Amino acid sequence: MATVTTWQTIATESQESLLNSIPTKWRLPGPVDASITDVRSIPRTCGLLTEKQLELTEQTASELLPKLHDGTLSSAEVTEAFCARAAIAHQCVNCLTAFFSEEAMARARELDGILAKTGKPVGPLHGLPVGIKDIFHMKGKRLTMGYVAWHDNECTTDASVVQILRNAGAVFFVRTTMPQTGMFLETWSNLWGRTKNPFNTNFSAGGSSGGDGALVAMRGAPFCPSTDIGGSIRAPGTFNGLYAMRPTSERTAKRGMGTAAPGQISIKVSCGPNCHSMSDLKLVTEILLTHHGLPFETTAVPMPWRKQIRAQQGDKLCFGLMTTDDCVTPHPPIARALQETAAKLRRAGHEVIEFKPPFDCWEIAHATWQLWFQTGAKETIDLVESSGEPIYSTFQWYLDFFKIKPLTVPELFKLNTKLAECRYSFTRAWHETSERTGTSRPIDALIAPCAPSASFPHGHPVWWGYFSLWNLLDYPSVVMPMKKMRVDPIKDAKGDINHTPKDNVFDKMNWEMYDPELWKNQPLTIQIVKPQFMDEELISVSETIDELCNA
């Protein structure tokens, strides 16, 4: 009689195999003490990294690359340093699904040999270690997407994003976690367990690219290319205090991204970086959006990258400020970050005006969920159930709350029509701001909350609307940390705010869970938005804000 392997056994064996792939020299002596919730200092204090390795891993990609290009640094030494730090990061926050340091070191030495022989780097990312999310097909590696049923799903080809980055000279060395189903703002699966926030391990690291966000925040990789169909680049960036960008989806190469439901094309996925600086964000986004070496990429518009945008920007800018979507009120520290940003812009001579969406964001959120799951999430649920594993209860809660069911063709047509109307009305409202600006032109960018909270306790249902609105509109958006700000129990006291929760469960839950002592020292971020295809302009205005707020 054949032995049936349970999903629990598969999960245990997968996690043990991953840990065993980490060399003993990079193993912590035991599990991290649960009383230590801010684990960011452990790589520096554990004694497993040399001073040189600490120095290398605490530099940005933009700082490392010139030295890799001229041979001042070898790819081998940089790759080894990040392999070591990623191994430690995983033991602190559980952010990986695969660790292949020997393969990475072989590629790094190969690149060092090419540079020594030719005197030329292979590409703009020559020799730089890069983590890759467990959603991209990568030949010879498993693609699980957090599903137990796909635990042995070996890829036979490379995704377009993998090809783009490899052609640019990147060295892949780890694969990062994502949640079961890929559709919630934290990273948990039966297969890989829970990914934790390095600032506070009791909080979400974001999702679905939570492994990317946690790894980069721990300095285990200079950047990771993340994906986003409802906030999955920006939530990890927001909750881990990183720079992140969701580009216009129509400009990003999508071939070879895993999905349980490949026919959903109403709201499309995007791909962009989680990283440590605006210069890194700009560098990586340009590489991802120009698709060099992929002549048959049919999933993205072949637009050239426009380099001279900042020179055309003008001295005085005007920003729209969206402080709420009138569905869920952001916590006091989120509001403070927005107001302080606006004040700095005004002091620098720029204009800031109020902006409100021209439609009901509550209604739009419901339409968005229905467009994500046009078949009632049947493919996703069938895949989960095929292994016997349980579906994540929070995901089921969302399906029930938004009354997700299979759509008829007329229902889908009606929702797609609503989507088109929303895009038109928002773009028209944007251009009509020219009637209210001192420049007599439309606002140069919109500043908005990233989320109503600076992360949240594990397993808590939360409002996605501040992220998912821009997916529906396909507006590119940047997440920027306010480096000089953190949640402060004195400045952000709950009792100082006279807030009456709105008549919806999300606003009530959001306000009830807020405790400034619990969120103390969590990073604060803002979101900066531009209309579709204006990715270069978005980066340009974001650079202006970054210089004012983070210099």
* Lowest mean pLDDT segment, chosen from 303-307, 381-385, 432-436: 303-307
CA dihedral 114, 119, 125, 130 (to 10 degrees): 40
pLDDT for the residue numbered 308: 77
Which residue among the candidates 74, 209, 232, 477 is catalytic per the annotation?
A: 232
Distance CA 532, CA 252 (A): 12
Give mean pLDDT, residues 378-404: 97
Distance CA 518, CA 270 (A): 33
Q: What is the 3-state secondary structure (H, E, C) of 375-389?
A: ECCHHHHHHHHHCCC
Give mean pLDDT, residues 308-325: 85
Spell out a b/e string for 173-209, using b for 16 or more CB atoms within 10 Å of the CB, else e. Answer: bbbbbbbbbbbbbbbbbbbbebbbbbbbbebbbbbbb
Question: E strands within 417-518?
Answer: 445-448, 477-486
Please confirm, yes or no, whether 133 is among the known catalytic residues: yes
pLDDT for the residue numbered 292: 80
Q: What residues contact 357, with CB distance under 8 A and at least 6 apart?
A: 322, 325, 364, 426, 429, 469
Beta strands 224-228 and 270-275: pairing type? Answer: antiparallel
Beta strands 477-486 and 243-246: pairing type? Answer: antiparallel
Q: Name the 3-class secondary structure at 169.
A: coil
Give mean pLDDT, residues 203-219: 99
* Residue % of the chain over a pLDDT of 70: 98
Does pTM surpass 0.95? yes
pLDDT exceeds 80 at position 309: no
Give 304's DSSP letter: P
Question: E strands within 248-335?
Answer: 270-275, 318-321
Distance CA 539, CA 96 (A): 30
Please confirm, yes or no, whether 386 is among the known catalytic residues: no
CA dihedral 268, 271, 276, 282 (to 10 degrees): -100
**pLDDT tens readout for residues 425-458:** 999 999 999 999 999 999 999 999 999 999 999 9
* Residue % of the chain over a pLDDT of 90: 94
CATH assignment of 8-28+42-364+419-550? Answer: 3.90.1300.10
Please confirm, yes or no, whether 232 is among the known catalytic residues: yes
Q: pLDDT tier at 535 (50, 70, 90 boundaries)? A: very high
pLDDT exceeds 90 at position 5: no
pLDDT exceeds 80 at position 262: yes
- The chain-wide mean pLDDT, for the chain, equals 97
Which residue among the candidates 62, 133, 141, 530 is catalytic per the annotation?
A: 133
Q: Which residue has the higher pLDDT, 2 or 448?
A: 448
pLDDT for the residue numbered 285: 99
Of 156, 272, 274, 145, nearest to 206 by C-alpha is 274
Q: Name the 3-class secondary structure at 267.
A: coil
Which residue among the candidates 189, 208, 209, 468 is catalytic per the annotation?
A: 208
